[in-house]
Amino acid sequence: MKRYFIHTFGCQMNVNDSLRMSEALAKMSYEPTPVPDNADLIILNTCAIREKAEDKMLSALGRYRTVKASRKALIGVGGCVAQQEKDKLLKKVPYLDFVFGPDNIAKLPEIIGRVENERERVVETAFVDSEEYVFPRADAETSRGKVTEFVTVMKGCDNVCSFCVVPHTRGREVSRGFTDVLLEVADLARVGVREVTLIGQNVNSYQGGISFAQLLLRTAEVPGIERVRFTTSHPHDLSDELIEAFRTQPKICPHFHLPVQCGSDRILKMMRRDYTVVQYLERLAKLREARPGIAVTTDIIVGFPGETEEEFEMTMQLTEQVRYDNQFSFVFSPRPKTGAALRENDWGPVPHEVKVARLERLQKVQRRISGEYTAALVGSEVEVLVEGHSKYDATKRFGRTPENRTVNFEGDAQAGAIVKVLVERSTPNQLAGKQVALLQGPTVAPVEDPVEPQTCVVAEA
Ligand code: SF4
């Protein structure tokens, strides 16, 4: 059997796409290898959201050149950089065999066949921006023994945020029919999955025959499913109906990732985010009223072109005011073809050292707030869905709370069980403690540390 290795960069959508690739390769009698050195096929599934991720991909590609020379391995690049660069990548990297965009994963066997049999260098980056698009369906058997899984419900984005490359690399929004989504969820539940995360670049603008709120409610009713999550959302699609779903269905986890991007209305306008800070806070207040204690996380871009010190202070104040549980904050980096990249010089680039200094200040504030949330839980009992053993200490167990806080604990509960854990210690990002009660056992015989094709999927932000 030939062996493959997939190196994944970026978001959860990419991790999920890599799993679909691994399923397609398994059907071609490829088996996974956890190291690239003995691979016959190496795929880099790439991210273009920030310059750094793209640079990392190019440096990994350089490292795999030796595998190409010694084993004659085939090397392909998929994902957002592939979509953005198309055949330019083949010119830039002479030892690259194929390039394919996110909409062409189903064509992977055909692409590899052409490379192997016809010795062609292949580029497949056409978008399928319509009902014609066929969402790759997860093979439920691949998920046997897993506790939590991702289910793609839509792809692409119809917004035009001026900093974002996604509309250029993932195309227009296409939603997956709700019956197809629910069938996949039911299949996953049958093999023991207890938590699903519905994913899409702009997931809460879902239009697959029912509203997104309805989709969440129907997913929560699938027998065996105990927790429902989703990512990632745009504030303007946080509807009253979605807020009501949080009020009425406890299986919808009390965690909302709601990207705000910055705390200044002027910068939000330049970012082409169609809300003001006041409107954002009003939505959030409604959500918190409907589900008290809900954990709220966000994305923030620091040093957007033209951002003044005063405007950055507004982002700091917003962070203090909202008291996010956590945030993913980054310095602005211009992405090809985006409005902000084209106008950066007009608006005034923020010097790199200023951006980095602002980011450090913001992250320090966020670490303090995150630490206050987790410290407040010491001495209390939290509900944990057990995912397996702790990666820090194999004698301990690992799981997450409904609010998506990670917990390492002493106990004997099997993967798939739901337990109560007494919290004894905390850091800003983790809780630690001991199991005090078993609330529910797993729904199927657990497979501890299942050997999955995705063991070869190395993910890197
Ligand atoms: S809504 Fe999200 S994915 Fe769409 S353009 Fe804006 S930042 Fe990018």
Residue 430 three-state SS: strand
CA 235 to ligand 1 centroid distance, Å: 11
pLDDT for 34 = 87
Cα–Cα distance for residue pair 252/53, rounded to 1 Å: 32
Q: In which band, very low, low, confident or very high, does the pLDDT at 455 lie, cut at 50, 70 and 90? A: very low
Among 80, 157, 173, residue to substitute to test ligand 1 (most atoms within 8 Å of Cβ): 157
Q: In which band, very low, low, confident or very high, does the pLDDT at 123 lie, cut at 50, 70 and 90? A: very high
Ligand 1 residue neighbourhood (C-beta within 6 Å): 157, 159, 161, 164, 166-167, 201-202, 234
In which residue are the tokens 């190196």 written?
7
Q: In which band, very low, low, confident or very high, does the pLDDT at 446 lie, cut at 50, 70 and 90? A: low
| Helices vs. strands in the chain: H and E counts, helices first | 15, 20
Cα–Cα distance for residue pair 37/247, rounded to 1 Å: 51
pLDDT for 132 = 76
CA 455 to ligand 1 centroid distance, Å: 30
Handedness of CA 436, 229, 43, 187 (dihedral sign): positive
The closest-lying atom of ligand 1 relative to the alpha carbon of residue 157 is 4
Is pLDDT of 451 > 60? Answer: no
CA 349 to ligand 1 centroid distance, Å: 21
pLDDT for 452 = 46
Range from 195-204, 305-314, 368-377, 449-458 carrying the lowest mean pLDDT: 449-458
What residue owns the CA closest to ligand 1's atom 8? 164
Ranges of CATH 3.40.50.12160 domains, the chain? 2-125+452-460
What percentage of residues in the chain have a pLDDT greater than 70? 96
pLDDT for 317 = 98
pLDDT for 29 = 86
Task: Name the residue among 302, 304, 299 with its Cα closest to residue 334.
Answer: 304
Ranges of CATH 2.40.50.140 domains, the chain? 381-440
Cα–Cα distance for residue pair 150/45, rounded to 1 Å: 17
pLDDT for 461 = 38
Task: Name the residue among 351, 25, 416 with its Cα closest to residue 191.
Answer: 416
Q: In which band, very low, low, confident or very high, does the pLDDT at 447 lie, cut at 50, 70 and 90? A: low
Is pLDDT of 319 > 90? Answer: yes
Work out the angle at residue 445's Cα, subtended by the Cα atoms of residues 441 and 446, and round it to the nearest 5 degrees: 80
Q: In which band, very low, low, confident or very high, does the pLDDT at 245 lie, cut at 50, 70 and 90? A: very high
CA 1 to ligand 1 centroid distance, Å: 41
pLDDT for 75 = 96
Q: How far is CA 420 from CA 99, 378, 411, in A?
A: 47, 13, 10
Q: In which band, very low, low, confident or very high, does the pLDDT at 449 lie, cut at 50, 70 and 90? A: low
In which residue are the tokens 């310095």 written?
331
The closest-lying atom of ligand 1 relative to the alpha carbon of residue 234 is 1
The closest-lying atom of ligand 1 relative to the alpha carbon of residue 201 is 3
190, exposed or middle or buried, with CB in 10 Å at 0-12, 13-18, 19+? middle
Averaged pLDDT, 439-454: 68
In which residue are the tokens 């899984």 written?
149
Neighbours of 232 (CB within 10 A): 17
Is there a contact between 127 and 96 (Cβ–Cβ < 8 Å)?
A: no
> What's CA 257's distance to the chain center, in Å?
11
pLDDT by residue (tens digit) across 135-164?
A: 878 888 888 888 999 999 999 999 999 999
Range from 159-163, 175-179, 451-455 carrying the lowest mean pLDDT: 451-455
Q: Do you find a cis peptide bond into 231, omega within 30 degrees of 0?
A: no
Average pLDDT, the chain: 92
Instruction: State the fold for domain 2-125+452-460.
Output: Rossmann fold (3.40.50)
Range from 50-64, 224-238, 273-287 carrying the lowest mean pLDDT: 50-64
Averaged pLDDT, 406-418: 96
Instruction: State the fold for domain 381-440.
Output: OB fold (Dihydrolipoamide Acetyltransferase, E2P) (2.40.50)
Residue 1 three-state SS: coil
CA 389 to ligand 1 centroid distance, Å: 35
Q: In which band, very low, low, confident or very high, does the pLDDT at 333 lie, cut at 50, 70 and 90? A: very high
Is pLDDT of 403 > 90? Answer: yes
Q: Where are the beta strands (DSSP E) in 136-262?
A: 148-152, 154-155, 174-175, 195-199, 227-231, 255-257
What residue owns the CA closest to ligand 1's atom 1? 159
The closest-lying atom of ligand 1 relative to the alpha carbon of residue 164 is 8
Averaged pLDDT, 125-143: 82
Neighbours of 38 (CB within 10 A): 13
pLDDT for 138 = 80
Task: Name the residue among 208, 285, 276, 209 with its Cα closest to residue 240.
Answer: 285
pLDDT for 52 = 80
Averaged pLDDT, 92-110: 93
- DSSP lists the bridge partners of residue 400 as 385, 406
How many residues are recorded in the chain? 461
Is pLDDT of 450 > 90? Answer: no
pLDDT for 128 = 81
The closest-lying atom of ligand 1 relative to the alpha carbon of residue 165 is 8
pLDDT for 11 = 85
116, exposed or middle or buried, with CB in 10 Å at 0-12, 13-18, 19+? middle
